[in-house]
Structure 1
Amino acid sequence: MDINYFLKINNAFAIENKRDIAINRTRNQISRNFNSNVQTINVEINDEPRTISISSSTKNNILTISTSPDQNDLLPGDSVRWDKEIWLVTEKKPNNIFISQAIMEKCNFDLKWIDSEGSIQTYPSVLYFNARSNFGTEEDKTMNLPAGRRQITIQSNEHTVKIRRDVRFIVGNEAFKVIDTDFMSDDGLVNLSLQSDQIDPVKDNLELGIADYHKLSKYELLILNDNPLSLSINQTARINVRVMRNGSEISDPQIVYSSSNTDLISVDEQGIITIHESGETNVTVSAYGIEKQLNIYVAPTIHYDYAATIDGANDIYLNRESTYVASFYNNGIKISDESSFSLTNLDGSPTLLASISSQDPIANTCTVKANSNRKLGTVILHVKNANGLSNGQREIKIKSLI
């Protein structure tokens, strides 16, 4: 084999070895320089406590963070709480074998809106008033925003990605609506372009800084047990709760129960009461920002708390029918029983607005038919069990199709 071939191979290895030596030397030098200027800080990244070592420089609320490569986990869209301020990572520098860099901008505005479920959402964001960088944060070149325009950058998450055009916000006592969205899901950011809009004093809540406040869901929390509720030791009971949103019952509400005296009674996440000893206490029932108290007295004698509910439509159109189902409870536990339905006006008098066309006492159902004589109003559907101890009712509106 040609000796020149071996010489070329040896030279290649020598060059490669020199390159590795140079890279290691440079990496060590940068690491020494980095460590000499390093600052160890306690932060929260996406609400998780962390301690990181950084070298940073700040300019106009824009922070350039340099970390060692082994801490290369700051990504666009990350929320960083540092020194009582919230920062949003808006840019990740290209990978570097020597050092890792990211750009953070200080959040200067809490973006608030009513989502499609009627709930208030609030997230810290970066609001650009007159101009914003269009060429990266290290250059001084900027893009002027037209009068009456704003731009917002916010973390991409399950709520912000649902923001669509024409969603309105209150910014500095002015109304703005979304005219363009840029969902940079791969970069963890959502960019919103806003245009000025008219304030509507009927719909907008300037005090809270929330536009279209009329879309906020109205919740009701109903405890169907007797209050106070009398129980006895060794008795099983359940807190029977209904949660309504805008007049309609939520099928699977998020409810929290807490006992003020767990030595006396405890309550699980389903509202089942476990009695430990006699005495008096109360349970707090919480759902969607509403709290109610149920006072409980545990006595040595057995007590029965009967209740009944009716499920079905809130409205029936003229000459139409709707079916309703009753449920019976004893101390909050559902029981089997026979039912009897009846209809009245709001004042309890007989009604001509609707009639019961059929009912099944065993299945606990009935069918209500609205009148065909164009009579509109509200009726009360009543139900009771066989012994008359469990009673319930439901308001039904008779409405016109027009």
Structure 2
Amino acid sequence: MPKSVEDYLDFLLKEKGKNVVIRGIQAKAIITDVNEKISYYDDKMIRTDMEIHTGERIDYQTDQWIVISEIDKNKNSYKARIRKMNYTIKMVVDEVLCEFISIIEGISFGIDEGKFMNFEAGKIQVTIPADSVSNKIDVDMRFIKMDKAWKVVGVDKSRLGIVILHCEKDLFGSYDDRINEIANTNLIAIWEIQINEENCQVALNKEFTFTATVMKNSTEYQGAILVWESSDENIAVVNDGVITGVAIGSVEISVHIQDKPTVKTNIQIEVVESIPDVITYKMWSSYTDGSGKSYTDFSVRYGSSKWFGVEKYVNGVLADVNDTYSFSLNPNGTPSSNYIYTVINSYKVKLEGEGYGYSVILSATSNESGEILTQSIQLKSLF
């Protein structure tokens, strides 16, 4: 009985296989051209012993390709049709500017072999891999490509793994950035995740707590759900910012907003045998009824007052016993009639805004360690 390709797969992958990257993993694959009488795109067939899925991105020969067909699974291999992704488009999704590598088609063959799409002028089809972000793209969202504005008029998610957008040419608007190909710039919010601790070491079998602050348009945002991840849980695990050292080595800890996965920050952590306690301090502010506590908003509006104080942290965890502090206020050129400054106790002070358009500088010196914290406080108007 003649042997099939499956019988020689290991040999072929070793001797004739090309280097590809699938889900970030180096792999070998047999890549062959698709033999068609009519072909607008450089489609290829891929056969590999690594499981692949429709919509999967394949890195091959410095380009990115997408699996556009169903998967032909045999006993030892997976076979599918791939197509080179030819454009990157930018769209605003959930107030975040996102980039999608895609296939853009006009009057051409579609991703189905032999199916001709006779698009009239001003219509295109965009195929992108399906993920948690691209699945949020909806009708009326817009992008700019080929010096034209396009509006999504239909979204096809019937094929698992890919999202197909039917788009029509649209008029440019006043918030469209044609040079940078960004539509609806007015919908973009500037999101950032700040890690407040500078420590980059965690002791073996010990915990260290990192605090992440979400900023939206330079203002602290309280409503975000954060997701923490470790690049190697054999070295360190993380749960809501609490990192535990498991083994000696380096690991990357990342944190992103749950419904905005592209808003992300990373920190490199080293797990070491042992380290002395890391003592840090944070200045905070709150309204005088104790509400609205913040570690980033240092301002007082005209006619209102706030408390300002300092907290002590040991290895990123709020200390059981706080230090006492000596406070001083530098007017920074602000007339004394614009504020009222009162030391409440050894942990906090009170500042009342009697004017606006100025700033003062608050200093706090730990009576135990001698460390000095300084913070500029803005005196703002009501509006």
Is TM-score (shorter-chain normalized) higher than 0.5? yes
Counterparts of 1:271-282 in structure 2, within 5 Å, are none
Q: 1:194 aligns with which of 138, 154, 167?
A: 167
Residue by residue over 1:153-192, the C-alpha shift from the partner in whole angstroms, topping out at 9 and shown as x without a partner, is 11122332333444432212333343443345x7111222
- 1:348 matches 2:334: yes
Q: 1:141 matched to which residue of 2?
A: 116
Distance 1:34 1:175 in 2: 50
Matches within 5 A, 1:75-224: 75-92=53-70, 101-113=79-91, 115-116=93-94, 118=96, 121-131=98-108, 133=110, 137-145=112-120, 147=122, 149-184=123-158, 187-199=160-172, 204=177, 206-207=179-180, 209-212=181-184, 215=188, 217=190
Measured after TM superposition, the shift of residue 47 of structure 1 is 2.7
Structure 2 residue 354 is the aligned partner of structure 1 residue 400: no
Amino acid at match of 1:385: T
Cα pair 1:242 1:249 within 8 Å, conserved: no
| Paired residues of 2:282 and 2:310 also in contact (CA < 8 A) | yes
Superposed displacement of residue 92, structure 1: 0.6
Structure 2, unmatched stretches of 5+, are 199-209, 229-241, 244-254, 256-262, 266-278, 286-293
For 1:111, give the aligned amino acid. Answer: I
Rg larger for = 1
Q: Please tell me the residue identity of whatever aligns with 2:163.
A: V
Q: What is the aligned partner in structure 2 of residue 52 from structure 1?
A: 29
Which residue of structure 2 lines up, in the alignment, with residue 247 of structure 1?
Answer: 218
Matches within 5 A, 1:25-40: 28=2, 31=5, 40=17
Q: Is the 8 A contact 1:307 1:390 kept in 2?
A: no
RMSD after superposition: 5.3
Identity %: 16
- For residue 76 of structure 1, give the secondary structure of its aligned residue in structure 2: coil
In structure 1, the gaps of 5 or more residues are 1-24, 226-239, 255-268, 271-286, 291-304
On the 8 A contact 1:57/1:63 being kept in 2, the answer is yes
Q: In the alignment, which residue of structure 2 is the partner of 1:43? A: 20
**Could you say if the C-alpha distance between residues 368 and 345 of structure 1 is closer, same or farther in structure 2, counting changes exceeding 3 Å?**
same
Aligned counterparts of 2:340 and 2:227: Cα–Cα separation in 1: 32
The offset of 1:247, in angstroms, is 2.7
**How many aligned residue pairs are there?**
309
Residues 86 and 62 of structure 1, relative CA distance in 2, 3 Å threshold: same
* 2:269 matched residue in structure 1: none
One-letter amino acid of the counterpart of residue 112, structure 2: T
Change (3 A) 1:141 1:197: closer
Shift of 1:326: 2.4
Q: Residue 228 of structure 1 aligns with which residue?
A: none
Query: SS in structure 2 opposite 1:385?
Result: strand
Distance 2:75 2:264 in 1: 50
TM-score by length of 1: 0.56
For residue 131 of structure 2, give the secondary structure of its aligned residue in structure 1.
coil
- Counterparts of 1:203 and 1:351 in 2: how far apart (Å)? 47
Measured after TM superposition, the shift of residue 309 of structure 1 is 3.3
CA distance in 1, matches of 2:23, 2:352: 55
Contact 1:128 1:150 (8 Å CA) reproduced: yes
Pair 1:33–1:117, CA change in 2 (3 A): same
